[in-house]
Amino acid sequence: MVYGQIFHQRSSDDCFINVNVGGFKQRMEHTVLRRFPQTRLGRLLCCSSKEAILELCDDFSPSDMEYYFDRNPRFFCYVLNFYFTGKIHLADGLCVVSFLQEIEYWGIKERHLDLCCSDKFCELMELAEDKCCDQRSDEVQLSSVSSIEELSALEENIEMFEGSWCADVRRNIWIRLENPGYSTSAKAMAIASLSVVLVSIVAMCIHSMSDFHQVDVNEKKIENPVLTFLENLCVLFFSAEFILRLAAAPSAKKFLCSPLNIIDLMSVMPFYVTIFYDIMDEGESTELENVGKVVQILRLMRVFRILKLARHSAGLRSLGATLRHSSHEVGQLVLFLSVGISMFSALIYFVEKESQESGLQTIPIAWWWATISMTTVGYGDTFPVTFGGKLIATLCIISGLLIVALPITNIFNKFSKFYARQRYIDLRRSKSKGHCQDMCYLSRLSNGQ
C-alpha cells in the first residue's frame, strides 16, 4: 500500500490527486497519470513515504492530499494538455531553453513534441546552442583579463602612487607613457618611440646587405659607422625609455612581469652583453671563444625589437591574445597535421622507393614532402614521379586543405573579437583624459597641495 492510500482508505476520492502549481490548482485522475508513469506526476503515485514525495514536489499536505510545485503556472496548462492528449506544444512567450528545462522537470521527453512544433523547436535550439557556444567562448577568452579590468587598471595604478616618492611627477610621466591619447605630449612621445623602433628595424635589415659592408686596410670586415651610430642611438633611446618607465612605474615588480616590458628588456640586453664581451676580448683570450659564439646568438635577439611594435599596434596585441587563447585549436591543427604527415609520408615512400628517378627514397625526405604538401607550400624540390605517387599526392593536398581550413575559422573569429575588444579599450582610454586629470587633481588636494 503506497503512502497516498494510507490517508485515503476511507475516502471516495482515492482515484484523484490535488496538484497546486504556483497557485494554480488542478484535480487529476490516477488513470490519466498512469498513462505516463515516468513523468514526475506519474511517479508520485508510486511513492511509499513522505520523504519520497518531497523529492518530487516542493511541499505536501497529507490532510488535503495536495502536492505543491513552485513552478510556472502558465506552462502547467501545457503539461495538463500533454496528459490528456499525449503531445506537448511549445509555450507562447517562453524561451526555448526555459521550455526545455520545464519539460525536463516534469519528466516529459522531446519525442512527445507534436509535429506542428518539432521543427520550430529544433531551429530554436540550434540558435540557442550557437549563442551559448559563442558566449562560453567569450567567457573563456576573456576570463583572465576582462575589458572592465583593463579599463580600470590605469585607475588602480594611479591610486598606487599615493604616499610614494615624487608621486605627482611619476604619476604624470606614467600616464603619458601608458596612454598616448592623454595629451599632445603623450602622442608626441608615442610617435617618437614608434619612429625609433622603425629606424632600428630598417637599420638591422640594411646591415645584412652586402652592399653596405665595409673592410679595413687588412681586408677585415668592419661595422658600417653610419649604421653603428644609428644602432647605438636607438639602443640608448630604448634604454632611457625603459629606465624612465621603470622609475615612474607604481609597482616595479608588476612592471618587470609585464610581457611587453620583458620584450623591451630583451631588445636592449644583447647590445650591452656585446659591449662587455668586446671589453673582455681585448686581450684575445682563447677562453672567450665560446663566449663569442654566444654573443653572436645574442645579437640575433635584436629581432625582438620588431615585437616592440605591439605596444603601438592593437592588431599585434590582438594577435598575441588570439594565439594565447587558441591553444586548443592550434593543438588540434598540429595533431591533425602530424597524423596526416606520418600517414602520407609512409605511403609515398613505399610507392616511390622502387623508382630511381624519384627523390623520395627515405621516410625523412617523405616527411618533408608531406609537410610542404599538406600545408600547401609546395617548394617543388621533391615530388613523386610514379602514377601511384601522384595519386597519393593528390589525396595529401586535398586532405591538407581540409585539415588546415577547419580550425582556422575559429581562430579568425577569436581574432576578430579580440581586435574589436582592443579597439574599444583604446577608444575608452583616449576618452579617459578628463577622468585621469580629475583623479590627479583630487590626489593633489588630498595631499594638501
Domain 320-421, CATH number (from 3.50.50.60, 3.30.420.10, 3.40.50.920, 1.10.287.70)? 1.10.287.70
Cβ atoms of residues 210 and 284 within 8 Å: no
pLDDT of residue 19 exceeding 80: yes
Write out pLDDT tens, residues 64-98: 788 999 988 888 888 888 888 888 888 888 888 88
What percent of the chain has a predicted confidence (pLDDT) above 70? 74
| Reported confidence tier of residue 441, pLDDT bands at 50, 70, 90 | very low
| Mean pLDDT of the region 422-441 | 57
Write out pLDDT tens, residues 175-219: 777 777 677 887 888 888 888 888 887 887 787 777 777 776 677
pLDDT at residue 391, as a whole number:
92
pLDDT of residue 57 exceeding 70: yes
For 69, list phi and psi in degrees, rounded to 5: -130, 125
Q: Can you give the pTM of this predicted structure?
A: 0.47
| Mean pLDDT of the region 113-134 | 78
Indicate the CATH number for domain 16-137.
3.30.710.10
Q: How many residues does the structure list for the chain?
A: 449
pLDDT at residue 187, as a whole number:
81
| Mean pLDDT of the region 18-24 | 89
| Reported confidence tier of residue 55, pLDDT bands at 50, 70, 90 | confident
pLDDT at residue 442, as a whole number:
44
More confident residue, 324 or 18: 18
Which CATH superfamily, name and number, covers 148-312?
Voltage-gated potassium channels. Chain C (1.20.120.350)
| Reported confidence tier of residue 291, pLDDT bands at 50, 70, 90 | low
Handedness of CA 428, 431, 432, 433 (dihedral sign): positive
Domain ranges of the chain: 16-137, 148-312, 320-421
Cβ atoms of residues 369 and 394 within 8 Å: no
Cell of 363: 621516410
Distance CA 403, CA 332 (A): 9
CA 129 to chain centre: 19
Cβ atoms of residues 33 and 42 within 8 Å: yes
For 164, list phi and psi in degrees, rounded to 5: -95, 170
Distance CA 383, CA 387 (A): 12
Number of neighbours of residue 427 by Cβ within 10 angstroms: 12
pLDDT of residue 413 exceeding 70: yes
Cβ atoms of residues 44 and 112 within 8 Å: no
Q: What angle do CA 58, 85, 73 make, to 5 degrees?
A: 30
Write out pLDDT tens, residues 325-340: 777 778 888 888 888 8
pLDDT of residue 343 exceeding 80: yes
Average pLDDT of the chain to the nearest whole number: 76
Cell of 148: 572592465
Least reliable range by pLDDT among 17-21, 63-67, 163-167: 163-167
| Mean pLDDT of the region 401-410 | 81
Distance CA 202, CA 420 (A): 30
